[in-house]
Amino acid sequence: MNFNIATIPGDGIGPDIVEQTILVLDKIGEKYGHRFNFTEVLAGGVAIDKTGEPLPQETIDICKKSDAVLLGAVGGPKWDNLPGDKRPEKALLGLRGELGLFANLRPALLHKPLKDACPLKAEIIGDSLDILVVRELTGGIYFGERGRRTGKYGEEAYDTETYSVKEVERIARVGFEAAMKRNKKVTSVDKANILESSRLWRAVVEEVAKDYPQVELNHMYVDNAAMQLIRNPKQFDVIVTSNMFGDILSDEASMLTGSIGMLPSASLAEGSFGLYEPIHGSAPDIAGQNKANPIATILSAAMMLRYSFGLEEEAQAIENAVTKVLEQGYRTGDIMSEGMKLVGTKEIGQLIINEL
């Protein structure tokens, strides 16, 4: 099978980690008889430097014509003083809106060989941890009406949280469909005791749940969910929640794994199209030095194979190869510990390819 992938290496370590991921995908293609065609495009700081815009129209057009998008990282201190609409991060919001990426899937998977990196006690996490946060990505307070005005105490600013029935229904279905392939448990996180938008959210989720009688549904207020992720994270399977709540909780869940450099993500549109990226930043201080950890990006490619291309066996092959390399004691600097073998970006990529 042939697949067209738009690649956005971006800034900092982005080119380093995307390069290794392309090599891994080429190996998968060779092994399983697929052809992956890659088209590199600009976004983020490098796009600002070359075109004056964080997200050129050409990038949008090529991404729309592709079967999926692979993104490295964007941003860095070089562009911190630019106006908000010209900053590299604006490219991410632009891609989400232009490509209709309404569902963000962020696994918090603690690999058994790295369990000592988890900040929680062993009796809390056991040998492993596997949580999937499903975050609504194109609605809510991040996209609602905003502005400044004169209020009771002078100048004030406001941001509006708004959700429609359709927006909640489609993200809920993503969560329930994911749970059907996992442990059949959904925890919907809201603030229905205070927010009207959360009361609508809860009502719609309950309606969607009727179509998935095999799945256990629980509701949880966001403040309690933040506490429970630390107190008893193993109670969660799939968490489905709003844009802002998901932004916060997915970062909290990611730190339970001990290294943000290990975690992939998928941002999905309706149908099979998706954008895949690691959740870490651009780390410009180690860019081009063969120090970056490419595993999160490589695992993001595995999610691409699974969710956009329907290649479950191939996705599992990548994930198994990563686990085997970790079991053999190989580590990049961010996950290095005493007694392990320190390797660089290119070496860890080649080790994964060797396992494949």
Give 194: exposed, middle or buried? Use CB within 10 Å, 0-12, 13-18, 19+.
Answer: exposed
Q: Please, are residues 255 and 229 in contact by the beta-carbon 8 Å criterion?
A: no
121 is catalytic: no
| 148: its two tokens | 């400044």
Q: How far apart are the first and last CA of the chain?
A: 19
The helix/strand/coil state of 149 is: strand
What is the CB-side half-sphere exposure of residue 92 using CA atoms within 13 A?
Answer: 23
Q: Please, are residues 187 and 197 in contact by the beta-carbon 8 Å criterion?
A: no
247 is catalytic: yes
191 is catalytic: yes
Q: Which residue, among 105, 106, 350, 125, has the nearest Cα to 258 in the 3D structure?
A: 125
237 is catalytic: no
Chain centroid to CA 299? 10
Among residues 26, 32, 78, 142, the one annotated as catalytic is: 142
Among residues 191, 276, 307, 330, the one annotated as catalytic is: 191
d(CA 121, CA 36): 42
Total number of residues shown for the chain = 356
Among residues 11, 190, 247, 334, the one annotated as catalytic is: 247
Q: Which residue, among 158, 231, 242, has the nearest Cα to 192 in the 3D structure?
A: 242
Among residues 49, 85, 159, 223, the one annotated as catalytic is: 223
**Enzyme catalytic residues:** 142, 191, 223, 247, 251
